[in-house]
Amino acid sequence: MSLKNNSLFTGIQWWKWTCIVLLFYTFIQGLLIEVPRLPILNETIRNLFFHVTIWFAMIIMMISSVVYGIKYLRSNNIDFDIKSSESAYTGVFLGILGLATGSLWAKYTWGAWWVNDAKLNGAAATMLVYLAYIVLRGSIDDENKKAKISAVYGIFAFTLMLVFIMILPRLTDSLHPGNGGNPGFSKYDLDSKMRTVFYPAVFAWSLLATWIAEIRVRIKRVSASQNH
């Protein structure tokens, strides 16, 4: 063990610092900023900076998963499989947080923990599809076979996610903002003030997700090289 490299902050890349700063910005400004005064929503409009951005980060993790999955299929480099699967795991974790926060928000604005809505059921179905991804990976012992099958399934899962949470909710009626003729929050944000927190918040959560996935990838790499 070299004590020289043991400082908490050495080797922390610039994007991790960016993540820390933006997260503090999100939490402080997210609570302090002036928001549109709307009935029913009241102060819960601030959930835009937390609930919605968590889903954005989840989608970015799934994009990363499918991109590295395709890279694996093209190169057979197992390192791409590690990146692909850990991105998906991190995405599933964020998705569960997204479902839980959405459910709580729905209770106080729509009046129920869960409503039979295209967007909500689509999000739940997406989580099931990705849970199946985890089960699939767990059921195959051979490393290369596991990587190949899960990469192919990952492409399938990603396509289903796009259909379930982007396309289908827009084709039908939906309570969820931004779907089925229902306006998104951009309509309420007349002076673009919320955008000054919303976009940094998307970056903050995405960078945090990347950070967590990166650490998981590094742990996987270390343990993989110890096994061989």
Partner 1 sequence: MKKIKPLFLLIFSLLIPVISFAQNSEVEMADLLRQDGKIYVVIGVICIILTGILLFLLTIDRKVRNLEQNQKR
Binding site for partner 1 (CB under 8 A): 1-2, 5-9, 11-12, 16-17, 20-21, 23-25, 27-29, 31-34, 37-39, 42-43, 211-212, 215, 218-219, 221-222, 225-226
Of the two residues 97 and 163, which places its CB atom closer to partner 1 in the complex?
A: 97
Q: Which is nearer to partner 1, 43 or 143 (CB)?
A: 43
CB of 8 to partner 1, least distance (A): 5
* Cβ at position 61, least distance to partner 1 in Å: 16
102: its two tokens: 């959405």
Cβ distance to partner 1 smaller for residue 38 or 112: 38
CB 37 → partner 1: shortest distance, Å? 4
Q: Is 16 left (phi over 0), alpha (psi -120 to 50) or beta?
A: alpha
DSSP for the chain, please give it. --SGGG-SSTT--HHHHHHHHHHHHHHHHHHHS-----TTTGGGGGGGGTHHHHHHHHHHHHHHHHHHHHHHHHH--HHHHHHHHHHHHHHHHHHHHHHHHHHHHHHHHTSSS----HHHHHHHHHHHHHHHHHHHHHH--SHHHHHHHHHHHHHHHHHHHIIIIIIHHHHS--SSTTSTT---GGGT-TTSTTHHHHHHHHHHHHHHHHHHHHHHHHHHHHHHHHH-
* Smallest gap from residue 11 Cβ to partner 1 (A): 6
Give whichever of 101 and 121 is closer to partner 1, judged by the CB atom: 101
Of 167 and 215, which has the nearer Cβ to partner 1?
215
Of residues 46 and 170, the one with the C-beta less far from partner 1: 46
Shortest Å, Cβ 6 to partner 1: 7
Q: How far is the CB of 160 from partner 1 (least distance, A)?
A: 31
